[in-house]
Amino acid sequence: MKKQKVAAKDEAVIIFLRGKKTILRPPQDSDVLLFQRWVNDPEVRQFIQRYIPASEKEEREWIEKMGKGSNTDIVLVIVAQGRPIGTMGIHGISWKDRTATTGALIGEKGYWGKGFGTDAKMALLDYAFNTLNLRKILSHVYAFNKRSLAYSLHCGYRIEGRLVRQRFVNGRYWDEIILGLFKSQWLPYWEKYQSE
């Protein structure tokens, strides 16, 4: 990915990964209330497995747990246009099999459908494949979440299976779509994305 020139105001910003439109950084204490708002918002929550209220204390403990380090889970905050808009992570890393599952949440609804998730996911996949040396990444999407399915396919994922009527959301059971992506399948998408 092309290096972006860092403006003077960005010098204090923590950057772990940089996309074209986003940066990804570790969670920090100031994110707690944002996380709490996002996972309690019914419009956002319907796309994740959480279904009970999240307290400020629970979100703070989750951030502290992430801060202690894990060799199987990496969670980052997506920042776009100078503000945190969501989270993205690599979960259940199997170092033996060199596989993992990605997950994302764009909590700021004004940023939905504008390419910020795609940009962050491409940066995360570059890290997963070219730094962590993983060979396959999975993702799970509820069948009604057309936006998430479309952006996953746009990043190169392929549908590998479907768990029929697996998740109960909004009063009915929905299929859970399982997507997979090998590094060799992703590279052409990465090259195209870099050149756009």
Position 62 scores a pLDDT of 85
Alpha-carbon span 38 to 109, nearest angstrom = 9
Say if residue 193's pLDDT is above 60.
yes
The domain made up of 8-195 has a fold known as Aminopeptidase (3.40.630)
How does pLDDT run across 78-96, given as a tens digit for each residue?
A: 999 999 999 999 999 999 9
Position 7 scores a pLDDT of 46
How does pLDDT run across 3-52, given as a tens digit for each residue?
A: 444 444 555 789 999 999 999 999 999 999 999 999 999 999 999 999 99
Closest by Cα among 27, 36, 32, 140 to 77:
27
CB contact burial 138-165 (16+ within 10 A = b; e otherwise): bbbbbbebeebbebbeebbbeeeeeeee
User: What is the mean predicted confidence (pLDDT) over 148-162?
Assistant: 97
User: What is the mean predicted confidence (pLDDT) over 132-138?
Assistant: 98
pTM value is 0.91
User: What is the mean predicted confidence (pLDDT) over 171-193?
Assistant: 98
Q: In degrees, to the nearest 5, what angle opens at C-alpha 109 toward C-alphas 108 and 115? A: 90
Residue 47, φ and ψ in degrees, nearest 5: -95, -5
User: What is the mean predicted confidence (pLDDT) over 122-146?
Assistant: 98
How does pLDDT run across 94-125, given as a tens digit for each residue?
A: 999 999 999 999 999 999 999 999 999 999 99
User: Token match 């060199």: residue?
Assistant: 98
What whole-number percentage of the chain has pLDDT above 90?
87
Position 11 scores a pLDDT of 57
- Asked if 145 and 103 count as a contact pair (C-beta separation under 8 A), the reply is no
Beta-bridged to residue 103, according to DSSP, are 89
Biggest CA pair distance of the chain: 51
